[in-house]
Amino acid sequence: MKRQERRKGKKTEVRESSVPSERNGESRGVMPWKRDSPLFKGQVAERSTGFDPHEKSTSHQVCVRRQKAAIETPAVLAGIHVNGEIDAGFQDKMENMFHTAYYVVKKEKPFTDFPDLVQLNSRTGSNMTNCYLSDKACLRFTIDIYNEEREQLLSDLKNAGYISVMIDGATDTGNIENEIVYVKFFNKERGVVQSFLGIEDVKHAHADGVLSAVQTVFEKAGLDNWKEKAGIRSGGFNKENQRLKQLQEVLQYLHQQYHYSPKALRELRMLADAMEEKVLKPTNLKGSRWLPYIHKATQILCNSYAIFVAHFEDQVSPERTTRPSSAVMGRAKNILHYLKSHTNVQFMHFLLDTLDFLKALSLQFQQDSLTPGEAVQYIEACLNGLTELCLEPGEQQRKMLADAMNGTYRGVELKNTTTDTLATDRKKITDMLTKHIESRLGDLLSTESIVQTFSALDHNVWPKLDNSDESKEAFVLHGRANIESLCHHYQSILVREGTTVTEVLGEYRLYKIWARMRNGPLRDTLLEILQRGDQQTKFNNLGIFAQIYLTMAVSTAACERGFSCMKRVKSDWRSSLSTKNLTRLMFLTIEGPSLDTFDAKRADVLTLIPPPENVTSRHMAIAREVWDTLASHEK
């Protein structure tokens, strides 16, 4: 019986140094602990030695930090609203916490880096608080910053007269089909704005499912009437020429040869050093965008042509010490046969000339400030360049023909040497590209397109006005029919705005007198009449068409950049990010201010973060008591 009593006493023995009592709590400056707290009472079957490994646990360390914060924070919070002013020390600490959280988001880091960064800043002398040292606190800071930064966008969208909606779809690392939404609108203070609005997963991969996802994005933004003032634009080059197909096979083999064989790549670079030239590793063709991949691969092959030929000759040489396999030698002979053909070398440089025109057009279409009129000019310039290539060799091909006049090109003896054997192939490829561009961008090039009618506003294409009667008549009548077509096309908008065709034509006459002596692009002229107060009053009705023209979306390049951001944020290590958090992170990454201009004072620095719910019940008692005390002080 005495042994059982001693054993029973040992079970209930608890060390006062490990568990705070009311007396110890008061003496140490900690808030009074309730006697019915699970930590105070302990467990009946728990020995005193059970606290030793518990003190090293992660959950206990979390509570220690919370208890330490509880000692300092209530005293600070109690003086926050003294005399209606915020305590400067507390505000400085919280601003530093917000800046640290924004750094994590802007640099696309995981939330788990936040506690370490806070501790690092504390060690380097920054004034940081001991509260909120968790990834969940970083998420809460991110939400506050997101709400504050997005409020300006939503306010401008609600006040915008007309918006363009750009949508595109892609699959993220979690194999979830997502639909991204960008908007473009005019704001008097900010000018033409193009901004990321949101991303939503597609429940059903059909037209109604895509439209439902887009509708959900606008509903979350509080823009239920977006269809009334929106125009939507949603975002292959499939035909192949035989020579183009052969070149693609050669480029793909070069990538495989030097990507999967470190030995071959090392030999290639050693050979380039011996020849005192530079060589880049051949790139892959199988990318999401065909044009930049094949352009870069072709450029590498043309620039390092002699090095690749020398390396393949070394592989098939009988004097080589270590002979490669018969399969490798067979492929090397085929590549050599292709690269030593005069016609094939010509085609490589002709394709490089062609891709230069297409690359320039692609880069021009990626500009956020691109207007429909400028897009038409760029397209026509590209088509004219392709026509020139059809009629005569381009710059790269001319250089190649000049260097190979004696049958040798960069020290390589070519076979079947002739001056130009690609006249037929040039015409086939340029015609094929021209037809593809015209079919793809026909809505911009068609003379019956509504885009062409906006040329009536472009003072750069108006007939010149001089003293002759013919020029005066041509100037007066120019653009009138197009303005009437615009009024007919946008009749519902004119009715909603309460204007008539006669009023628009009257303002157009004044606009022609005012703008005929102006120089510069049409975009700058239209922005001036929309942003200057006197011009805005004078051209109030004509400004409707100016806003529509400036907000027209020509391409969905912004959506592609948005998906690039999505793949960086939602990586393989963060594939479980929810759509809501993904939207927040992408918005701050894309549209958020830079780290230098971000101002934490705009955010709600006095927001208190409740304790997480995924801790043990024993620690939840401590966390809940700390939270209740902080909340009472805030009130």
Structure tokens at 341: 């053909």
125 falls within a domain: no
Position 438 scores a pLDDT of 87
Confidence of residue 9 (pLDDT cuts 50, 70, 90): very low
Q: What is the mean pLDDT of residues 588-616?
A: 67
Does 288 share its domain with 354? no
Contact 438, 449 (CB under 8 A): no
Position 405 scores a pLDDT of 84
Does 305 share its domain with 380? no
Position 505 scores a pLDDT of 92
Position 87 scores a pLDDT of 62
Contact 343, 420 (CB under 8 A): no
* Ranges 431-440, 462-471, 534-543: which has the least confidence: 462-471
Does 345 share its domain with 437? yes
pLDDT tens digits for 543-570?
999 999 999 888 888 888 998 999 999 9
Contact 174, 570 (CB under 8 A): yes
Position 48 scores a pLDDT of 46
Position 606 scores a pLDDT of 44
User: Is residue 18 predicted with pLDDT exceeding 70?
Assistant: no
Interatomic CA distance for residues 336 and 341, integer angstroms: 9
179, containing H or E segment: strand 177-187
Interatomic CA distance for residues 237 and 166, integer angstroms: 22
Structure tokens at 104: 């994590």
Mean pLDDT taken over the chain: 80
183, containing H or E segment: strand 177-187
pLDDT tens digits for 496-526?
889 999 999 999 999 998 988 888 889 999 9
Interatomic CA distance for residues 63 and 72, integer angstroms: 14
Does 319 share its domain with 407? no
Confidence of residue 173 (pLDDT cuts 50, 70, 90): confident
Confidence of residue 239 (pLDDT cuts 50, 70, 90): very low
Does 321 share its domain with 353? no
492 falls within a domain: yes
The residue range of the domain holding 297 is: 236-332
7 falls within a domain: yes
Does 465 share its domain with 541? yes
pLDDT over 90 for what percent of the chain?
27
Q: Which amino acid is at 230?
A: A
| β-bridge partners, 233 | 166
Residue 176, classified by CB atoms within 10 Å of its CB into exposed (0-12), middle (13-18) or buried (19+), is: middle
Per-residue HEC secondary structure of 538-607 comes to: HCCCHHHHHHHHHHCCCCCHHHHHHHHHHHHHCCHHHCCCCHHHHHHHHHHHHHCCCCCCCCHHHCCCCC
Whose tokens are 């079970």? That residue is: 11
Confidence of residue 536 (pLDDT cuts 50, 70, 90): confident
136 falls within a domain: no
Does 531 share its domain with 512? yes
Q: Which amino acid is at 317?
A: S
565 falls within a domain: no
Position 287 scores a pLDDT of 65
Does 397 share its domain with 424? yes
With CA atoms as reference, report the closest residue to 609 among 131, 145, 147.
131
Give how many domains the chain has, as a whole number: 4
Q: What is the pTM of this model?
A: 0.73
The number of CA neighbours under 13 Å toward the Cβ of 417 is: 13
User: Is residue 45 predicted with pLDDT exceeding 90?
Assistant: no
Q: Which amino acid is at 478?
A: H
User: Is residue 40 predicted with pLDDT exceeding 50?
Assistant: no
The set of residues, in sequence order, having a beta carbon less than 8 Å from that of 129 and lying 6+ positions away, is: 69, 72, 73, 90, 93, 94, 96, 97
